[in-house]
Amino acid sequence: WTTADEKAFIEHLIENISKAGDGGNFKKPVYTSAAVALNLIRTEGGPKTSRSCATKYTMLRKFQGFVEIIMGISGWHWDPEKGVNVR
């Protein structure tokens, strides 16, 4: 997944947010339409499938959870542009 793939995927999910169920989860048709859209713009890497899109969504949600935890820890720094900016 390239950064462009992830951005397009997130934009697709935002466009389909009304189809999200309880807990912010999407059903297979949303992942299938995302895969079709992503494969049209794919420049590298393997083809996307509904399953790979669902897995990517799960990973992005986990990452978001980690970011929210880090942002809430006193003394830890988080910048939206640079992340934790560890050197």
Per-residue pLDDT tens for 59-87?
999 888 777 777 777 777 767 777 766 65
Is the pLDDT at 32 greater than 80? The verdict is: yes
Domain positions in the chain: 3-72
Work out the angle at residue 26's Cα, subtended by the Cα atoms of residues 49 and 50, and round it to the nearest 5 degrees: 5
| Of 84 and 15, the one with more pLDDT | 15
Instruction: Give the whole-angstrom CA distance, residue 42 versus residue 8.
Output: 10
Report the pLDDT value the prediction gives residue 54, as an integer from 0 to 100: 97
Question: pTM for the full model?
Answer: 0.77
Mean pLDDT score across all residues of the chain: 88
Average pLDDT in the 18-25 region?
Answer: 87
